[in-house]
Amino acid sequence: MVQSAVLGFPRIGKNRELKKATEAYWSGKISADELNTAAKNLRLEHWKLQKDQGVDIVPSNDFSFYDQIMDHSFTFNAIPERYLKYDLTPLDTYFAMGRGMQRPAADGKPAVDVPSQEMVKWFDSNYHFLRPEVSDKTEFKLNSTKAVDEFLEAKQANIQTRPVLLGPVTFLYLAKATKESSVKPIDLLPKLASAYVELLKKLVEAGAESVQIDEPILALDLPKEVLDSYKSTYETLAQAGAKLILTTYFGPLKQNIEILKGLPVAGIHIDVCRAPENLDDTLSILSDKQVLSVGIVSGRNIWKTDFQKAVAVIEKAIAAVGSERVIVASSSSILHIPHSLSGEDQLKPEIKRWFAFAVEKCAELAILTKAVNEGPASVRKELEANAADAKARAESPITNVKAVRDRQAAVTPEMHTRATPFEKRYSLQQESLKLPQFPTTTIGSFPQTKEIRVTRNKFVKGLISAEEYDAFIRNEITDVVKFQENIGLDVLVHGEPERNDMVQYFGEKMEGFVFTVNGWVQSYGSRCVRPPIIVGDVSRPGPMTVKESAFAQSVTSKPMKGMLTAPITILRWSFPRDDVEESIQAQQIALGLRDEVLDLEKAGVRVIQCDEPALREGLPLRRADWAQYVDYAVKAFRLATGGVKDDTQIHSHFCYSDFNDIFDAIQGLDADVVSIENSKSDMKLMSVLSNYKSCIGPGLFDIHSPRVPPVEEFKERIDALIKSVPKNRLWINPDCGLKTRGWPETTADLENMIVATRIARNENA
């Protein structure tokens, strides 16, 4: 019999229970015991939920208090020394690794001041993980039995689960060595593999029938030494006697398939949503005992699975290896999609029927499995409904809007190019803006306080009028502008108080998107987003940000920066359509933004920032596919911004530090000023900065952490930057927006940043 499997379930909870409990713990409102109880309840609820939908193999150890990758650092004792010197509890040590910790000495306990680990994007998704960190001193050993404990917890509730582990090769490939250490992470594989064996043995003893071991890097172009390491590593793991299902996802295995041949694992999981060719490739190397797990229900999007096509793929696998050796699975963990569609009653029924969220994806897996086990007649009603939904979507008028397509057809190459080269237009901008050396600015958002969120919530629920809400927002903007004037920033922002999210906000203003009320997806730690869904051709019916930016400019004589989210970021942080090329969707969004940029300019806004932080994560996982992506991504940005006058200054912003891969694309955007995350990356940007030909503001402090760097630390960073960036091109700013921070640390951070800038100006005048 074919079995169904989920590779990982969203852990945040239908109503973000996990977010609420962890944040309550951090603010001292609940105890560690209460937090653990909340987590335990959620785990149980999620296991039961998946079982109730009919899933055969449900995962355990997919739960995490902060990040599942950091859980592995903790489990295998890859805990940098800086977190161990404060005698914190294990739970607080763990949270300090995730979010840093800064607290004064109190009650006989010493002061704590430690930054978090580096946070990076999980492949091409909007999920962030904490990059594992190893050094010459790292001693891998079993520091936690979380995976075993959670397996037993489920077992006690009579639920047999399949524990999920991140594979050791992926763990070390994604790891970095601490600055002062000479170790090459991948060289530590033999030592790490021994610790894995210890854990696997414990799982077998506890009764685990199989273990899912994730090696997603197999969807990347990998160096030979990494590929070669699989054989010996998995031979070591085999000593534990666990039945391992080696799990790959997010793309085609291509030539990496070779290393899977003969690997001592009980089964292989492949993603056939992203890469249908994985099926034939894997069948060609599968041994006659190994199980094939076919990832046919997408863990990355919210579209209903096409049952007819899916059944055909599963039948092909069954024909090749027999039904006892086939598992029907989600393509990847379904962490990346919202919990459930129930309660999304504001969605028009004719559109809602196109979607499946996590709970509905579980039901899809059960239906598909029944279809192949018991025959299509056993699920005829479901198959017919699925076909009818797909037909209705294909025929919907919103998927092809003539006015939008006509405008796209009229786009010319000139629309992508500014009239004058950077050098010349930047001096015109300087004449008009009159900015000092090392201009200071922020990235856009200021703290989204409880008061802002609650007021917006009242407005959304109709408890206050649009006039009251507008007045509240104007007040917030005025306060933020005055704050920036007082503190001495040079280019101001309005603070984005009117925005629930930098992508959702724009989606709500454009045609072609729909929204959820509770479709939360975890982004990092306790932070979530509600990605809008692109259902049809996109257009901008009217101004989206002009009212707020023009108002903000009217209350100050300093330059006000208009703030937009750029096309690729809107596209990638939404759920895009799967029936139209992403390049077409990006161009539609770009045309809407172009109108917005020109309207901002008309309203007297002379500096306009278009944030493109998702540009890097959008890079296809395989280099061979990069050029085509970069071409349309860069064109979309240039189409959005290319129509402005010479003295209108275009900024862009990127919150990642892997500048190398994307350097040419960022240069190609032809922005006048870019800000880029830098503070947590050991200033690794340095080597490339000197080659950048426009202005650049490498981030000076980490906005994900409440920790405030002292003035000297800021000054050291500025001094280091001056060595790489020409002095007339360096801007001073944080890593990213300040929306997640509170006012006290925001004030202290910016004060210290500005004091350090003034010292640097005096020294470099």
The residues annotated with a catalytic role in the active site are: 704
CA distance 722 to 170: 36
What 3-state DSSP class applies to 442? Answer: coil
Out of 313, 327, 736, 753, which residue is the one contacting Zn ion (CB under 5 A)? 736
46 among annotated binding-site residues = no
Closest to ligand LYWDKB7T by CB, 497 or 643: 497
- For the bound state, the minimum distance from the C-beta of residue 530 to ligand LYWDKB7T, rounded and expressed in Å, comes to 6
Out of 134, 502, 589, 634, which residue is the one contacting ligand LYWDKB7T (CB under 6 A)? 502
Q: Tell me which residue has tokens 């050029």.
A: 627
Out of 99, 300, 456, 707, which residue is the one contacting ligand LYWDKB7T (CB under 6 A)? 456
444 among annotated binding-site residues = yes
Tell how many helices (H) and how many strands (E) occur in the chain.
27, 23
- For the bound state, the minimum distance from the C-beta of residue 506 to ligand HCS, rounded and expressed in Å, comes to 11
CA distance 540 to 509: 7
Task: Kindly determine how many residues on this chain lie close enough to bind Zn ion according to the rule CB under 5 A.
Answer: 3
Contact between 636 and ligand HCS (CB under 6 A)? no
61: alpha, beta or left, given left = phi > 0 and alpha = psi -120 to 50? left
**If we measure between CA atoms, which residue out of 705, 699, 690, 710 comes closest to residue 732?**
699
Tell me how far the alpha carbon of residue 655 is from its chain's centroid.
Answer: 11
611 among annotated binding-site residues = yes
Window of 33-41, 52-60, 391-399, 520-528 that interacts with ligand LYWDKB7T by CB under 6 A: 520-528
Contact between 457 and ligand LYWDKB7T (CB under 6 A)? yes
Q: Which two tokens stand for residue 280?
A: 């034939």
527 among annotated binding-site residues = yes
Contact between 502 and Zn ion (CB under 5 A)? no
Out of 434, 450, 461, 723, which residue is the one contacting ligand LYWDKB7T (CB under 6 A)? 450
Tell me how far the alpha carbon of residue 478 is from its chain's centroid.
Answer: 32
Q: Which two tokens stand for residue 40?
A: 């335990």
- For the bound state, the minimum distance from the C-beta of residue 688 to ligand LYWDKB7T, rounded and expressed in Å, comes to 22
CA distance 243 to 237: 10
525 with 67: CB under 8 angstroms?
yes
Contact between 492 and ligand HCS (CB under 6 A)? no
477 among annotated binding-site residues = no
121 bridge partner residues: 128
What 3-state DSSP class applies to 724? Answer: coil
Helix (H) or strand (E) run with residue 113 in it? strand 112-114
Contact between 126 and ligand LYWDKB7T (CB under 6 A)? yes
Out of 49, 246, 492, 655, which residue is the one contacting ligand HCS (CB under 6 A)? 655
Residue nearest to ligand HCS (CB): 737
Contact between 527 and ligand LYWDKB7T (CB under 6 A)? yes
Contact between 449 and ligand LYWDKB7T (CB under 6 A)? no
Q: Tell me which residue has tokens 């975890």.
A: 522
Contact between 512 and Zn ion (CB under 5 A)? no
- For the bound state, the minimum distance from the C-beta of residue 460 to ligand LYWDKB7T, rounded and expressed in Å, comes to 7
Q: Which two tokens stand for residue 77?
A: 């004792």
697 with 429: CB under 8 angstroms?
no
Residue nearest to ligand LYWDKB7T (CB): 500
755 with 763: CB under 8 angstroms?
no
126 binds, among Zn ion, ligand LYWDKB7T, ligand HCS, none (CB under 5 to 8 A by kind): ligand LYWDKB7T
For residues 628-657, which are near ligand LYWDKB7T according to CB under 6 A?
655
Alpha helices, DSSP H, located in 76-217? 90-99, 146-156, 168-174, 189-206
CB atoms closer than 10 angstroms to residue 646:
17
Out of 567, 613, 643, 734, which residue is the one contacting Zn ion (CB under 5 A)? 613
Closest to ligand HCS by CB, 590 or 736: 736
Contact between 674 and ligand HCS (CB under 6 A)? no
CA distance 384 to 46: 29
CA distance 745 to 736: 14
CA distance 171 to 761: 43
- For the bound state, the minimum distance from the C-beta of residue 741 to ligand LYWDKB7T, rounded and expressed in Å, comes to 10
Out of 737, 745, 753, 760, which residue is the one contacting ligand HCS (CB under 6 A)? 737
CA distance 293 to 327: 4
* Sequence-separated (6 or more) residues with CB below 8 Å from residue 96: 83, 86, 88, 112, 114, 116
For residues 557-586, which are near ligand LYWDKB7T according to CB under 6 A?
573
CA distance 450 to 746: 15
736 among annotated binding-site residues = yes
Contact between 346 and ligand LYWDKB7T (CB under 6 A)? no
Alpha helices, DSSP H, located in 215-285? 224-238, 257-260, 278-283
Q: Which two tokens stand for residue 183?
A: 């170790």
CB atoms closer than 10 angstroms to residue 628:
11
Residues 716-745, one symbol each (x = binds ligand LYWDKB7T by CB under 6 A, - = not), give: -----------------------xx-----
Contact between 734 and ligand HCS (CB under 6 A)? no
Out of 216, 444, 536, 643, which residue is the one contacting ligand HCS (CB under 6 A)? 444
Contact between 317 and ligand LYWDKB7T (CB under 6 A)? no
Window of 117-125, 524-532, 655-663, 749-757 that interacts with Zn ion by CB under 5 A: 655-663
Task: Kindly determine how many residues on this chain lie close enough to bind ligand LYWDKB7T according to the rule CB under 6 A.
Answer: 22
CA atoms within 13 A on the CB side of 405: 8
443 with 484: CB under 8 angstroms?
no
Contact between 653 and ligand HCS (CB under 6 A)? yes
653 among annotated binding-site residues = yes
Q: Which two tokens stand for residue 316?
A: 């092909």
Q: Which residues bind ligand HCS (CB under 6 A)?
A: 443-445, 502, 563, 611, 613, 653, 655, 736-737, 739
Output the known binding site for L-homocysteine: 443-445, 611
Q: Which residues bind ligand LYWDKB7T (CB under 6 A)?
A: 126, 448, 450, 453-454, 456-457, 500-503, 523-524, 527-530, 573, 613, 655, 739-740
Output the known binding site for 5-methyltetrahydropteroyltri-L-glutamate: 19, 126, 527-528, 573
